[in-house]
Amino acid sequence: MTIDNEKLIEKYRTMVRIRTFEQRVSREFAAGNIPGFVHLYVGEEATATGACAALRSDDYITSTHRGHGHVIAKGGQPDLMMAELYGKKTGYCKGKGGSMHIADTDIGILGANGIVGAGIPIAGGAALSARMRGTDQVVVCFLGDGASNRGTFHEGVNLAAVWQLPVVYVIENNLYAEKTRIADTYRLPDLSDRAGAFGIPDVTVDGNDVVAVYEAVAEAVARARRGEGPTLVECKTYRMHGHFEGDPQTYKPADEVEEWKKKDPIVNFRKRLVEMEVLTGDDADAIDQQVNNEMDAAVRFAQESPFPDAEEALEDVFA
C-alpha cells in the first residue's frame, strides 16, 4: 500500500501530539496539579495513531483506562482533555470524570473506561446500532492483553462473530496487565491466535510501526464495512511508563526496557521519514515545536479554567 507523504507526516504529528500531551500530564501529575490516577500510553502511540487513521470521523472507537492516545488519534481536543484531567468545568465531562471517562460522541469516541474489558460489549452494541440504522459505520475496539482474559472479551467477540458485526478488535499487547506478565496468564505465543476460537480473521503486527498498524486495521475496517464481520488485530507494543504514574516498575527487567527503548515508535518513524526524504530534520523539529506550543496552551487553558461549582455536583446524574 502506498501512503502519500502528507498522510505520513500527519501520522508523525499525531504520535508527537500524543507523546507531548502525556509528557505534560506526567509533569503536572508529579507536581500535584492533577488529582486521581493517570495511566500513560507513552511507547504505544503508533497503535492508536495507525488504527484511527483507518477510520472516518463518523466511525466509532471504544477505549480503555489508558485512553489519551485513542482520544487524540480520533480527533479529541487536548485542551478539553487537559481541563478534564485537572477536574475543571471546561473539561470534556465538566471536570467530573477525569482521565478514564473522556468521551466525545460527536466524533465517535464512546468513552475511555475504568473497567478493564468494558469497552468490548459497548463496541458490539455500537456496531449493532450501525447495522440497525443501516449505516456503514465501523467500530474499533481498543483493549489490552489483560482485558483479553476477561469474560467480556470471549462473550463480546463471540457474539460479534456470530452476528458478523462491523467491529475491529485492536489488542494492545504491551506485555503487562498492571505488573503481571502476559506469559504468566496465557499459553500461546500470539493473542491473535484467540481469533480461531471465534472463527474470525486475525493478524499480528508490530504495534510500534504506525504504517503496519494502519495497513492491517485499514484492511480489517474495509472488511467490516463490506459486511464481512469482525477481525482481531494484535499490536505488539510496550508501555514505557509504569502502569500508573508513580509505579516504581520494579517488575520490568532492565534489558527488556533497553530493548524496547530502541523500538521507540516516534524516534524510529521520524528517522524513517527523514531517510525517505518525506521531511527534513528541520521540518520534524518545526512540527515538534508547534506541538509543544499547542500542549503548553492546553495546560494554560486547564490551569486558568474554574473548578465546577459545588451546586453542579448532582447535575448529569442519572439516578
Applying CB under 6 A, the residues found at the interface with ligand TPP are 64-66, 114-116, 144-147, 172, 174, 176-178, 243
CB 101 within 8 A of CB 111: yes
Is the CB of 145 or the CB of 209 nearer to ligand TPP? 145
Give the shortest CB-148-to-ligand TPP separation in angstroms: 7
Give the shortest CB-287-to-Mg ion separation in angstroms: 29
DSSP assigned state of 33: -
Considering only 64, 148, 174, 305, the residue that binds Mg ion (CB under 5 A) is 174
Q: With contacts defined by CB under 5 A, how many residues of the chain interact with Mg ion?
A: 5
Q: Give the three-class secondary structure for 136.
A: coil
Give the shortest CB-134-to-ligand TPP separation in angstroms: 33
Is the CB of 229 or the CB of 242 nearer to ligand TPP? 242
Q: Report which residue's Cβ sits closest to Mg ion.
A: 144
Q: Which three cell numbers stand for residue 111?
A: 468513552
Cα torsion for 27, 16, 79, 24, to the nearest 10°? 0
The partner in contact with residue 223, picked from ligand TPP, Mg ion, none with C-beta cut-offs of 5 to 8 angstroms by kind, is none
Residue with the three cell numbers 532492565: 254
Is the CB of 17 or the CB of 65 nearer to ligand TPP? 65
Give the strand pairing for 180-181 and 176-177: antiparallel
145 binds Mg ion (CB under 5 A): yes
CA distances in angstroms from 101 to 98, 239, 265, listed in the order given: 6, 21, 26
CB 251 within 8 A of CB 179: yes
Give the shortest CB-37-to-ligand TPP separation in angstroms: 9
Residue type at 40 in one-letter notation: L
Give the shortest CB-39-to-ligand TPP separation in angstroms: 6
The partner in contact with residue 140, picked from ligand TPP, Mg ion, none with C-beta cut-offs of 5 to 8 angstroms by kind, is none
- Comparing CA positions, the residue from 14, 104, 107 lying closest to residue 59 is 107
63 binds Mg ion (CB under 5 A): no
Q: What phi and psi values does residue 142 have, to the nearest 5 degrees?
A: -85, 135
Interacting residues with Mg ion (CB under 5 A): 144-146, 174, 177
